[in-house]
Chains A and B, each alone.
Chain A
Amino acid sequence: MIDVFMDEKFIGEVENQEDFLKKVKDERQKGKLPNTLNIWYNDELKEVHIEIANGRVRRPLIVVEKGKSKLTAEHLKKLEANELTWKELFSQGVMEYLDAAEEENAYVALNEEDVTAEHTHMEISPSIILGLTTSLVPFANFGQSSRLNRGSKAQKQALGFYSANYLVRMDTDVNILHYPQNPLVKSFMYDVSKQNLHPAGQNIIIALMSYEGYNMQDALVFNKGSIDLGLARSTYYRPYKAEELRYAGGLIDEICVPDKEVKGYRSEEDYKLLEDDGIIFPESIVKEDDVIIGKTSPPRFLGEIDEFSIAANKRRESSITMRHGEPGKVDFVMVTENEEGMRLVKTRLRHQRIPEIGDKFASRHGQKGVVGLIVPEADMPFTVTGVKPDLIFSPHSIPSRMTVSHLLEVLAGKTGALDGRTIDATTFSSEPEHDLRKTLLELGFREDGTETLYNGLTGEKLKAKIFIGNMYYLRLKHMVANKLHARASGRIQLLTRQPIEGRAKGGGLRLGEMEKDCLVGHGASLLLKERFDSDITRIQVCESCGMLAVYDNFKNTQFCHRCGGNIVINTIQISYAFKLLLDELRALGIGPKLNLKSKYDDGSRTQRSK
């Protein structure tokens, strides 16, 4: 007897599981049982499981019976002529949706040729094992699986042409590539998924060689000439928004050029770009922290109105300014109303991003890198016909990562460019390598894709033949312009007196836990102390009770709240964060005491908590 479970609950037993399974599957196909039901037999535990719960991942497979696929040429013809629908294929039993559990019972063939009498199912296509973006990777079956993951991840971060109406949209963090192209080497899925309507990359010429060591460790060397011609150029858009909010007591915000009496007034110079309505004019060039929408708000607390001030004085400045570290041009200004009928102003800033050192690029094979050097066109190596690569890629990036697909794409790209056609690089059914080589040879090139190159600086012939060809390259959205940051001193947090966090606010760069470990491991104790001096503070400690004492700066005296003034008080240097901890402990009702010792006595200070 075999136990039967439905959604992991025991519901009964059956004598013969095979008959039972067949019967349930028949009923499911006929539509008497729901199509979303899956059933499987666990041979190890001798249990039949029926699954009807939500959230199971299921995928379609072609049913195979007696070694023959149920999907015939006739079906395909009818499908093409729109006489048959996808759904009908399931009701006819030609195809089935299996979940992960039912798949345990299935024996699935990858190709129709592989089908034997034992098989129960067949894949629609072998490349269906890949997801949407992964299937866009050319020659994916020649690459390592983890590289495929990275390749598909890179494509999701690539700059492109995300929407044709981007000019009338107010999306945040938008990048538009200036001259997007469709790839020369693409998979079947590229067109099917309509990627060709919003491409996200450019076909460029790459050479696999080193260049003065500036492309080591995944760095890339770019041709300045190509960049000047608009290679990988993009525009960054960011909207800014101001709203006239309504507060209690009939007070409202006002979008205008702020009056001189307003609290927090900047200066006339700061508002010079604003038009009479308080909004900046389109196409004006703005720097970081510039005012783009002038606005004043009513006071935060009623207490702010002091007796002698005149009415305008109580309003405060609340203008919208450019983000720190982001210059640009005003692209678009829009004035409208929000749901409450109040004035709403949106402006969109635009900034052209020309590739610079540190910008991130990637191919579709998980080979990402940052620009390490931009070389004048004259200094780039060139071929006999005068072709100069747009990009020089380090050959050391290939062997350990085993991205054969990367090399194949260069070869295929070269063939496609020279032959004037796109190359099919669909996973498992791509154009064979030897065909590509043959075409190259017929076109008068070396079949392995290498060419003789000449040193751009000296004109000497390079001893090695260089692998050079076309490739689809992606510019990724991580640009140094958004990330570059340094600080010497600046704003600190009110509570801890440590530097504030974040680039936008000009914050500090954290020396974290692991970096601390590194300095400790090297025994660089004093360097570590110095690095943590950002919140250093001097405190007075009463020697007799161990509590914090007071230093009166006006009278230049020191005293302890408990022991009075006639007592030994010493000044020590500690981090403010620790002083804060002592204060917080006191707030908890714990009285921490500091017992001081001269560091010249035995080298240690002690601290006692009580």
Chain B
Amino acid sequence: METVAKEFEGKLPQKIINEAVAEAKKRSCSKDQLKKIIQYLKEQYDDARITAGEGIGIVTAESFGEPSTQMTLNVFHFAGVAEVSVTQGLPRLIEILDARKEIKTPSMEIYIKKEFNKDMNVVKKVAASIKETKFADIVTEFTINLSKLQIEATLHQNRIKDLKLTPDTIAKALGEGLKNVIVTSSPNKITLKAKDAENELMEIYKLKEKSKDIFIKGIKGISQVLPVKKDNEFFIVTAGSNLKEVLEIKEIDETKTSTNSLFEVLAVLGIEAARRTVINEAKKVIENQGLDVDIRHIMLIADIMTTSGTVKGITRSGITSGKSSVLARASFETPIVHIINASLVGEEDQLNSVIENVMLNQPVPLGTGLPGLVAKMIKGAEKGIPKGKAKK
């Protein structure tokens, strides 16, 4: 058995060979049978491999681009069911491929350690502790006192109790968040007054709106939490994302917790995790739309986006700027910048890729343009060769 396995070493991935050997042993196959099996596996494997000269770049672009034109903008809403809204479809795909730093709907899936994940109370407690509370969330009514030129906010007593807050702690948080404002607290009221005496009505209104956004408690950025039960296990879906601080909570299963923000993953977990996130997120979009794209296309895109060590979008400032060919870069966007910069350093273009060769009307180095014909010249026959065609 092992000799057969040895024979194919290097011709097939070791994992496939090992699996075949293990399976053959279990079914007590003969040596010849195993050889036949692995031979067949090798044929299948070779068939699945991409042939030399295949334009995988363009095939990926088209395989990815065509289905995305069919993406519908109708997002499935589940009326009445509590859910966190997440950007889907084409807008989300553009976000991923452009590697946007600010995504429209950051969201996390927070998993709880095995020992707690069946206990609703623990999950609820974790959910409450990570939700970001803003001043507006704990106020029932804002009134502008025109005679005193101040804002009076009535506090929501029950909510304060739930969140274990006191008027003093709230006032302190407000004082940190707002500048040039005098904050005074009473058991059920918070009063805000600007330090400058001459306040216009519009200014006070602006202050009121500003105060609503002041951070009081929780994890910054997480505006909504939603405990969800799936396969007998609770986890938390959030709107807003803050991977670094969430991972510090001790009840959390850090091996499964994820965010859809590429750059947070990159900053906290590194480039390999970011590559995986690109694949997962793109795959999620495509599957949600009921479309089918081979995973290898998505992987190629993720590889190209992350191969430089940071996440680069498929944009003018992203991967296009990393192309080695001056002409290829110039043919995308802003050609003058690329040409001027190239001429300043005397860049050389090796004409190795498709676009440059189309521009020069040369065969592109793909498919039929790849093989060259080598002919042995008979001495003395060189005269017959047209000028410039063959030289040296």
Contact = CB atoms under 8 A, between A and B. Distances in A.
Interface of A: 1, 3, 10, 13, 516-518, 520-529, 532-533, 535-536, 570-575, 577-578, 581, 585, 588, 590, 595-596, 598-601, 603-610
Most B CB within 10 A of own CB, among A1, A13, A525: A525
Given A517-B61, A606-B348, A609-B346, A570 B326 contact: no
B351 interface: yes
A571 B388 CA distance: 5
8 contacts: A13-B144, A525-B365, A571-B387, A598-B391, A604-B351, A607-B360, A609-B346, A609-B347
Contacts of B365: 525
A599 B347 CA distance: 22
A380 to B, nearest CB: 38
Contact of A606 (B350, B361, B372): B350
B372 A600 contact: yes
B348 A600 contact: no
B55 A521 contact: yes
B366 A577 contact: no
A271 B144 CA distance: 88
Given A528-B364, A573-B361, A585-B339, A520 B55 contact: yes
Nearest to A522: B367
B361 A578 contact: yes
B292 interface: no
B293 to A, nearest CB: 15
Given A529-B363, A571-B387, A521 B58 contact: yes
Given A1-B143, A572-B388, 14 more contacts: A1-B141, A1-B142, A523-B54, A523-B369, A526-B363, A526-B368, A536-B361, A570-B388, A575-B361, A590-B343, A600-B372, A606-B349, A609-B343, A610-B343
A399 to B, nearest CB: 19
B81 interface: no
B43 to A, nearest CB: 23
A534 B144 CA distance: 75
A145 B7 CA distance: 65
Given A3-B205, A10-B201, A600-B372, A524 B144 contact: no
A1 B390 CA distance: 89
Nearest to B206: A10
Nearest to A12: B201
Name the prevailing secondary structure of the A interface residues: mixed
Interface in B34-69: 53-55, 58-59, 61-62
Given A13-B144, A590-B339, A604 B360 contact: no
B333 to A, nearest CB: 14
Interface residues of B, number: 47
A599 B372 contact: yes
A451 B359 CA distance: 61
B319 interface: no
Nearest to B371: A603
Interface in B356-392: 358-370, 372, 374, 387-388, 390-392
B211 to A, nearest CB: 14
B364 A521 contact: no
B349 A609 contact: yes
Among A518, A526, A529, A596, chain B packs the most CB atoms within 10 A around the CB of: A529
Contacts of B188: none
A578 B354 CA distance: 15
A144 B141 CA distance: 47
A486 to B, nearest CB: 23
Contacts of A571: 387-388
B202 interface: yes
Given A525-B370, A610-B343, A605 B362 contact: yes
A525 B368 contact: yes
Given A525-B367, A578-B361, A520 B58 contact: yes
B390 A525 contact: no
Residue with the greatest number of chain B CB neighbours at <10 A, chosen from A536, A581, A585? A581
A609 B360 contact: no
